[in-house]
Every structure is written in C-alpha cells, then in structure tokens.
Chain A
Amino acid sequence: DAKTTQPNSMESNEEEPVHLPCNHSTISGTDYIHWYRQLPSQGPEYVIHGLTSNVNNRMASLAIAEDRKSSTLILHRATLRDAAVYYCILRGNAGGTSYGKLTFGQGTILTVHP
C-alpha cells in the first residue's frame, strides 16, 4: 500500500482556516486521496476525496498538487467540533487481495482553541 505522511499534530483558533498537509510521494495513478476524521470514541467519518482536481464539499476543500505527491485538506473556518484526528489515506480499486481497503497511518491531531 502506498504510504502517506502527516504532521503528528496541529493547532488552530476557532473561526480561522486550517490547512492540513499530507505527503504521498509513492501514490499510483489510480489511487484516490481520501480524508477521514475520527472524534474520540467514535468510528472514522468521511470528509472528502479526490483524484487530480481540487474538490469542495460542505465540510472541507481538498487541494491536490499537480504531481499528486501531496495534498492539503482545508477547513475554511474551524469550529470546536472540528477537533479530531484527521487521516489522509490512499485508496486503490479492489483487485487481487486488496479489496479496496483503507490502511490508516497515524493521522494529524487537530486541536481547536476557542
């Protein structure tokens, strides 16, 4: 599985934008970049995903580098509810023994200050 690298932790103030970086230099051409987040004692929650173009949804934006070796999750206005562990994960198509599984790295712990 292609690996991702994220900072261990980041901090932000409420109502300010947050940029969470992710490096994935060994990404393959068919891998999608997925972001999930996990609040304490809960299962992960889908945030956003993309392939090449930047993506926007109601939760966040995803900026993907032109060479696809890095990406940035953007929370436009952080709230206290956004405090969570954010995981950047590469997902390929199911095939062979992969079954399209998600392999989690350590993620980034985001702390939001009031």
Chain B
Amino acid sequence: GAVVSQHPSRVICKSGTSVKIECRSLDFQATTMFWYRQFPKQSLMLMATSNEGSKATYEQGVEKDKFLINHASLTLSTLTVTSAHPEDSSFYICSASSQGLANEKLFFGSGTQLSVL
C-alpha cells in the first residue's frame, strides 16, 4: 500500500535553533500534504495544509513565520520550525493526499518527536 515516510523520527535541539522535518510520499504523488502537531494525551491538531507549488494554508492561531512549510514537489513537503523554543516541543505528524476526495484514505507519517532544550 501507499507509504508516507517522515524524517527524522526524533530530534533534540537547543532553544533558538531551527529544525526541518521532511515528509515524503513514496509511491504516489501527493498534491496535498497536511501537517499536524500533537501534545501528550491530546488529539492531533491540524497546523497547515500545503499544496504542491503554492503557499501553504495555515489554521487559525498557527504562526506562518515560525512554522515554514515548503511543498516543492509532488513527493516532498517540509516543515521547518524556526527559532524553536521549549513550548514547540511536540509530536509532529504529516499526512499526504493524492486526490483530495472524500472517499480517499489518507496515509500518515510515523511522526517526529521534537524536544527543544
């Protein structure tokens, strides 16, 4: 079946540094990718939606300049957490969609655990 690969699975960084997370669709073309974050014992919260070749659409309350999303190809989207701070520590998850249709099942990456010291 379709697979979405997310890398790295875990990253520890110092406060003030930037971290890039990659999300790749391995056997299909992802016109749309979704980025979520999840705090312990909470549900996934959608951060933004990226479409290949265009600007990402951010959910209300998500800072565009802090969470930079690039979807430069049909198989790769990246999320960069800029100037990370301890409150950005979270589990980040991506998902990819090829058609954007209601009856399409979505595939998710395995997640990236970000810890900011």
A-side interface residues toward B, CB under 8 Å?
Answer: 30-32, 34, 36, 38, 41-46, 49, 51, 87, 91-94, 97, 99-107
Measured between beta carbons, the chain A residues less than 8 angstroms from B55 are none
**A41 lies within 8 A of B91 (CB):** yes
Besides A32-B102, A43-B94, 11 other CB < 8 A contacts? A36-B108, A41-B113, A42-B110, A43-B93, A43-B111, A44-B93, A49-B103, A93-B102, A94-B32, A94-B99, A104-B36
**B105 lies within 8 A of A99 (CB):** no
Q: Is B57 an interface residue (CB 8 A)?
A: yes
The interface residues of chain B, by DSSP majority, are classed as strand
B33-60 interface mask toward A, CB cutoff 8 Å, 1 = contact, 0 = none? Answer: 0101000000111100101000001000
Measured between beta carbons, the chain A residues less than 8 angstroms from B32 are 94, 99-100
B-side interface residues toward A, CB under 8 Å?
Answer: 4, 6, 32, 34, 36, 43-46, 49, 51, 57, 91, 93-95, 97, 99-111, 113
**B57 lies within 8 A of A107 (CB):** no
A15 CB to nearest chain B CB (Å): 27
**B57 lies within 8 A of A46 (CB):** no
Chain B: which residue is nearest A31 at the CB level? B102
Measured between beta carbons, the chain B residues less than 8 angstroms from A46 are 105-107
Chain A: which residue is nearest B32 at the CB level? A99
A4 CB to nearest chain B CB (Å): 11
CA distance A91 to B101 in the complex (A): 8
CA distance A38 to B107 in the complex (A): 12
CA distance A41 to B93 in the complex (A): 10
A-B contact pairs, 27 of them (CB 8 A): A30-B102, A34-B106, A36-B108, A38-B44, A41-B91, A41-B113, A43-B6, A43-B93, A43-B95, A46-B105, A46-B106, A46-B107, A49-B105, A51-B103, A87-B43, A92-B102, A93-B102, A97-B57, A99-B57, A100-B99, A100-B100, A100-B101, A100-B102, A100-B104, A102-B46, A102-B106, A106-B43
